[in-house]
Structure 1
Amino acid sequence: MVRPIPTDVVVVGGGPVGMLLAAELAYYDVSVVVLEGEAGTSTRPKATTLHARTTQTLARRGYLPAPEFSPAAGTVSSPFHFAGLAGLHITAPAAEPEPVLKRAQADLERLFEERARACGAQVLRGHRMTGLAQRPDGVRVVAEGPQGHAEFGAAFVVGADGARGTVRELAGIGCDTYAPTVSAMMGLVRLDEADSLSGGWHRTARGWVVAKEAADGGMHLRTVNFTRTHADRGKPLSLDELREETSQIMGREIGMSAPRWLSRFSDYARLAHTYRKDRVLLAGDAAHLHFPIGGQGLSTGILDALNLGWKLAATVRGTAGGSLLDSYDTERRPAAERVIENVRAQVCLMHPEVRLDSLRNLFSGLLATDPGGSHLGAMISAQDTVLPARSAVPSAWEGKFLQNIALTTQSGPADVIRLLREGRMLLLLFGTDTCEQHEKAAQAWSRSVRIVRAEPVAVVPCAALLVRPDGYIAWASDGAGLEATLALYLSDGSDVRPVG
């Protein structure tokens, strides 16, 4: 009988979401094994966009540099598209990272893998999961690798194995699905005539072609055809098909050659009924799938990992409150549902039928009353996210994201981003008479909570704030008692292992 290799967590899937989650878990001194079928990082063109809330949270966890703080700098904006409509901007405080960061998915995967390995995660490439069985005390995972059969015994398994992964199915987690309505193609090619197709979004009566110039002089093409769906989405795409589709939509011959990375896709969407079933959890495309318009997929998956990492680590280490891990589903599933809904709305707005022009005109008129599309920008960038309150008597601050602010602490100048990089919850005390009682209340959790005294700041009219490792406010002094909130998030802390 094969004795399974023990570990705290098995992460199935070594893309950016799985690698980031592994890095987070390993940072918190959780033993983690990553099973990834590919031998190395794929260089295939994939997602390249991170939006504001994702960059802000990554900065708080130390994966992106913190900007130089300038309280008088105001805000910065970056352009984005919604259903092909231009002239829209995502805006964020200048004290935060840039609102739209262009970074190749492969580069992020390498960054997260390097951090995961440095923190002690075991990354097993060339290993594909073939079996999964839950038990009351853990999960048994079977994999096939270069040296043959391997088995692992873990407290938890996380499926970060993408749209075609098997963790969700093997765990018996159902999902809501939305049938495809369009067919789309993608490929990196070289145009026979460089000026036959310019970069940008091209809409015709027959569909859309989105063209983006590649660094090597090629053209990255995406086509969207609203007249049919793919008969067989898994069938390999040929250069002739991509050329015919592009030419048909554009209404003129577009010659091309030197094809790379050809593939088909559609607007099929899927959302898991739950992100947790006992000891199995889902993250990224394994949990939610949607049409890649608007560049929200990578950001949504990364925010999954950043939400789950510290919660799962606390659960494994025995320092989590009883319902902390369940809050991963209640916080992240609605976020994915919103993304799927806004993507489906974009597909409707992109439909080239003339009868929909009135809808587009109405939508454009509404945008005209919202200069720069601030409402859409906040939605696409997830900056409008407010988490559901967990306290019995919540403060108006609870669930909101604490933007980066300059602080004067007993140790000198600081800011929110840098104070959160330890990965602990942060209790900010703003020098009032009640701070003594808040500090005393937090002492039982002192190894899980960083306590910082700071001079009062005008933008925070509270005596104290409790901030989660991901930057969201868990409690404020105008809400229920601090001890009750800490008990929701953490055990009493008496057996906490040091962080980092």
Structure 2
Amino acid sequence: MNSDFDVVVAGGGPVGLMLACELRLGGASVVVVERRTEADRTIKAGWISTPTAEAFYRRGMLPALAEVQQRSVERFRAFVREQQGTGGSGRPPRAPAGFAGHFAGIMLRGELLDPADPDFVNAGPAKDIGHVPQQEIERLLTERARELGIEVRGGTELTGFHTVDGGIEVRVAPAADGSGEVIRAHWLVGCDGGRSTVRKLAGFAFPGTDPQITGHQALVEMTGSEALRPGWNHTHTGMYVHGPMPGRILTVEFDGPPADREAPVTAEQLQASLRRVSGAEVTITGVRTATRFTDHARQAADYRAGRVLLAGDAAHVHSPFGGQGLNLGIGDAMNLGWKLAAVVRGRAPEGLLDSYTAERHPIGAWVLEWTRAQVALMRPEPQAQALRQVVAELAESVAGTTYFAKKISGVSHRYDLPGSHPLVGRSAPDLAFTDGTRLADLLHDGRALLLDLADDAGLRAHARGYGERVRVVTAACPDGPEPAGLLVRPDGIVAWAAGAGDGDGLADALSRWFGPGRRTFL
């Protein structure tokens, strides 16, 4: 089929933009269609996980994240000064450097983390990045998409699609007037959010659990805020959050889902909810941005149906507690991008796409369970509060904090890949080399990497038939070659690892992930 693009990405949020950038890096032609005409300024996630920071780090974007984080820290400090200056109730919130995340609003203290845990050590400088708002992620990815020459069509709505021989025809229309056109492509990926049009039209099963709560999050102007305690606060009527930036509030009430999820959030509704939960006579005088959320938790049974795939909230929805949604979606994009590009460009068979659901679905299922557990602990009933106290005491230990922080940050996640080495299926350690570079520096171009740490000609010979598909690098670490060799996929996952002189399984791993080589070396 003659196509206009290799891939149409529906949705121009962070997940859609990240996927488009990865596809373009892999050589695929891609267009992004997005209903919005400007960036979404609705307050959303304010934190990214270590795997998300690693993804940006491996594409050379860590300095930009560090700049954003510095501004976020400065805003936090301004909030602390405001609280101290107005005599806010309770102690001021702990500084970001001492914050390791939270579980159901139970704060995790960074000084209780086990510094020797290898899952934290191996991430390199990415582990120091976390306080990055979702709006800034979208801005950075918009700039990157522009640099890569990706066409992003704002104000354009996907209205339908159908498969044809060898491809798919996608109907789009300007969101303003409804006039339309057809884009011909080989693949369509829905990154169009929790109410995904792509998912609904393609008929993906979307099982899960119904909502029990109504939550609001907003940036507001208000009077009487000195009566609010900073941070996460549990009350007999629900939970509320004040900070970590001036004017930010969040409320959670356990009275069932909202009657109309789509209705605009008003100052009166925010004020009433905040008063009910906090007991403080706060008056909201202005709303800069506001959103309403629930805890419905659903996941597509499969992330692929023929030539249609899903990523991000289109594939899974859940409550926002812990900021897992953005991070889960970026992980989807990193996993799918290089695989779909390889299939599009003929570097790998279409069967490679089966590994996308196989690898990402279990991670998504875990996130849904993780958020459900948090909602259970937040409930105001005596039984839930008794359990909450037990969990809070566990979180005050080194083992407990380290456990929760590893889960929240995502550093303990791994894919079930063939191979017995403990690194296989995990994010590659950010090895430091004797020449001053690090492993992440070798992944900027989005290619797979065979890293030879023992100057083993036999090891390197396995990859000679892969040309540009696999970059081969011989390097040395100051602390010695352990392991002696690593095969790292474009998404930074270790596909094979072994000790010195042990090339068993490398040929199979190369073939599995990057197709057959042109020649075979024994």
TM-score (norm 1): 0.89
Q: Where does residue 402 of structure 1 map in the other structure?
A: 428
Which residue in 2 is equivalent to 1:31? 29
| Corresponding position: 1:97 with 2:126 | yes
- Secondary structure of the residue that 1:38 maps to in structure 2? coil
Which residue identity does 1:306 align to in structure 2?
M
Q: Are residues 1:113 and 2:133 paired?
A: no
Q: For residues 67 and 466 of structure 1, do their structure 2 counterparts lie closer, same or farther at Cα, with a shift above 3 Å needed?
A: farther
Deviation at 1:459, TM superposition (A): 6.9
AA aligned opposite 2:56: L
> Structure 1 runs of 4+ off > 4 angstroms?
456-460
* Number of the residue aligned with 2:170: 141
Q: Are the equivalent residues in 2 in contact too, given 1:4–1:140 (CA < 8 A)? A: no
Q: Residue in 1 aligned with 2:393?
A: 365
Q: CA deviation at 1:28?
A: 2.2
Check the 8 A contact 2:379/2:385 in 1, yes or no: no
Tell me which moved more, 357-366 or 27-36. Answer: 357-366
Match among 182, 185, 193 for residue 216 of structure 2: 185
Match of residue 439 from structure 2: 416
> 1-side partners of 2:195 and 2:10: how far apart?
12
Q: Distance in 2 between matches of 1:447 and 1:4?
A: 26
Say whether 1:266 aligns with 2:294. yes
Secondary structure of the residue aligned to 1:86 is: strand
Distance 2:146 2:135 in 1: 16
Change (3 A) 1:14 1:493: farther
SS in structure 1 of the partner of residue 468 of structure 2: coil
CA distance in 2, matches of 1:250, 1:324: 51
**Structure 1: any 5+ residue segments left out of the alignment?**
69-75, 496-500
2:205 to 174, 193, 196: 174
Rounded Cα–Cα distance in structure 2 between residues aligned with 1:483 and 1:86: 46
Q: Which has the higher helix share?
A: 2
Q: 1:246 matched to which residue of 2?
A: 274
Contact 1:87 1:372 in 2 (8 A): no
CA 472–336 in structure 1, closer or farther in 2 if over 3 Å, else same: same
Partner of 2:459: 438
In the TM superposition, residue 372 of structure 1 has moved relative to its aligned partner by 6.2
Q: Distance in 1 between matches of 2:458 and 2:192?
A: 46
Which of 159, 162, 173 is matched with 1:130 structurally? Answer: 159
Alpha-carbon distance in 2 for matches of 1:319, 1:268: 39
Give the direction of change, closer, same or farther, for the CA distance of 1:461–1:262 in structure 2 (3 Å limit).
closer
Deviations 1:42-91 (A, max 9, x none): 222222211112101220122323999xxxxxxx9742111111134477
**In the alignment, which residue of structure 2 is the partner of 1:48?**
46
User: For each residue in 1:292-340, what CA deviation from the matched residue of structure 2 results, as whole angstroms up to 9, or x when unmatched?
Assistant: 1111111111111111111111111110245322111111111111111
For 1:190, the aligned partner's letter is E
- RMSD over aligned Cα atoms: 2.5
The amino acid of 2:440's aligned partner reads: I
- Name the CA shift for 1:275/1:194 in 2 (closer, same or farther; >3 Å): same
Q: Are residues 254 and 38 of structure 1, via their aligned partners in 2, closer, same or farther at CA, if it must alter by over 3 Å?
A: same
Matched, 1:209 2:240: yes
- With over 3 angstroms needed to count, the CA separation of the structure-2 counterparts of 1:193 and 1:254, relative to structure 1, is closer
Q: Once the two structures are aligned, what percentage of the paired residues are identical? A: 37
Equivalent pair of 2:65/2:132 in contact (CA under 8 Å): no
Conserved? CA contact 1:53–1:381, under 8 Å: yes
Q: Which residue of 2 aligns with 1:486?
A: 510
Q: CA deviation at 1:413?
A: 3.7
Instruction: Report whether the alignment pairs 1:463 with 2:489.
Output: no
Deviation at residue 377 of structure 1 after TM alignment:
0.8
Look up the SS of the partner of 1:81 in the other structure. strand
What amino acid sits opposite 1:35 in the alignment? V
Equivalent in 160, 183, 206 of residue 152 of structure 1: 183
Query: Are residues 1:255 and 2:286 paired?
Result: no
* Equivalent residues of 1:66, 1:417 under 8 A apart: no
Structure 1 stretch 82-91 or stretch 413-422: which is displaced more?
82-91
Q: Residue 305 of structure 1 aligns with which residue? A: 333
**Cα 1:400–1:363, aligned 2, differ >3 Å: closer, same or farther?**
same
| Distance (whole Å) between structure 2 residues aligned to residue 360 and residue 487 of structure 1 | 49
State which of 356, 369, 376 in structure 1 corresponds to 2:384: 356
CA distance in 1, matches of 2:457, 2:225: 69
Q: Is the 8 A contact 2:162 2:170 kept in 1?
A: yes
Counterpart of 2:56 in 1: which secondary structure?
Answer: helix
Residue 469 of structure 2 is aligned to residue 448 of structure 1? yes
**Paired residues of 2:99 and 2:107 also in contact (CA < 8 A):** no
Deviations 1:275-302 (A, max 9, x none): 1111111111111111011111111111
Contact persistence 1:84–1:201 (CA under 8 A): yes
Change (3 A) 1:95 1:5: closer
Distance in 1 (alpha carbons) for counterparts of 2:140 and 2:517: 32
Please identify, of 166-175 and 473-482, the stretch whose mean Cα deviation from structure 2 is larger.
473-482
Paired positions, count = 476
Q: 2:107 aligns with which of 80, 83, 86?
A: 86
Amino acid at match of 1:353: E
SS in 2 for 1:292: coil
Residue deviations 1:238-277, cap 9 Å, x none?
3222212211112232222112333322111111111111
Distance 1:78 1:242 in 2: 27
Equivalent pair of 2:415/2:426 in contact (CA under 8 Å): yes
Q: 2:226 aligns with which of 186, 195, 218?
A: 195
The alpha-carbon distance between structure 1 residues 456 and 193, as it changes in their structure 2 partners (threshold 3 A), is: closer
C-alpha contact 1:10 1:35 (8 A) present in aligned 2: yes
1:319 to 347, 356, 370: 347
1:375 is matched with which residue?
A: 403
Report the structure, 1 or 2, having the larger strand content.
1
- State the SS of the aligned residue for 1:56: helix
Q: Is the 8 A contact 1:173 1:277 kept in 2?
A: yes
Structure 1 contact 31–120 (Cα < 8 Å) conserved: no
Q: Is the 1:39–1:126 Cα contact (8 Å) retained in structure 2?
A: yes
- After superposition, the Cα gap between the structure-2 partners of 1:271 and 1:102, relative to the gap in structure 1 and judged at 3 Å, is same
TM-score (norm: length of structure 2): 0.85
